[in-house]
Structure 1
Amino acid sequence: MDFLELAEKRQSDRAFDPERKIEPEKIKRILEAARIAPSACNAQPWHFIVVNNPELKNKIADATSTKVLGMNHFTKQAPVHILIVEENANFTSNIGSWVKNKHFPYIDIGIAAAHITLAAAAEGIGSCIIGWFDEKNIKKLLGIPSSKRILLDILLGYSTQEHRNKKRKLSDEIITYNRYEK
């Protein structure tokens, strides 16, 4: 399939086949896509933690859901969680972040997350990016130093959802050429 077909195919899946494991070679290819993602000044400010141990994965899933808000109760279904930990950027990226008042590692990690989800879709695997979780609890579960930040938890699994049509703004509402117009 071409890239636009892949982008259209990729969706945030919230129902996975909990019995179907993801083949290790597919996980390796997905992680390779993340590893080679571009980053400001080649800082590569990330560390990826793959959680596929069923017991540990369920504890991570518990840390992503909340009864109060009724959020993320589907996360136990996913057989794999990839947590992205922010690492220190290199000197030039940090200087650029300071000069331009942009935290480039956040942008870089977003790019790596997009690579993960698109690579997963290319492998026939569903994904969902989670940003709502009990970071302190997950750090404790995974031995992540308190000084580090976990920015995202990306769920991977074989989706049991039907493909949904994307509801997006029309091109002429969000794209202009050569100047900002609203």
Structure 2
Amino acid sequence: MSVSPQSDLPSVADVAGDVAGVVERFTHGATHAFAFGDGGVPEAVLASYDQYDDLGGEDKLGKYRVVVAPEVLGRQLPEMVEAIRRGTFGPPVLVGTDVEPVLVVMSTPQYRTLRGDDEPPPGVIDDPTVRTYDSAPTPGSTPFSVEEWAKDDPFTQQILEEIRQERGTTDG
């Protein structure tokens, strides 16, 4: 899949033309959620069904009435993005086989809602799939070890011990 010349975002046509490749990359865990759109503007997001499910997507956003086959998505994706632009796009569309969705198509505001992010200020073009957050420690915070974190919880201590045994390590 190439990217549009004015942006490093894939265009709608780029994604629609390589749906089989995108599904393959999601199936093998070789890609993460990404935004795409025309004119360098992130208009829609493709995310894995696993991420959608883990973040409670169906409870937060619902789902399209059927799982759409990849070849159908390739044909209908331009219409979906047009609906996003008009503000008439419905719930996220699941893509895959009848028994197993692989990925989800949604608008960028839906993806922000899924993740619990705020909307950007008016006029700011924001790709929610590449947002960064200030992760500097707050004043007065102090580091702590995993052992300190788990010290009062026997279950967590047991899990940590099992992880160490699997990795063949004994130290923290």
TM-score range, shorter-chain basis? under 0.3
Q: Which has the larger radius of gyration?
A: 2
Greater RCO structure (CA 8 Å; 6+ sep):
1
TM-score (norm 2): 0.28
TM-score (norm 1): 0.27
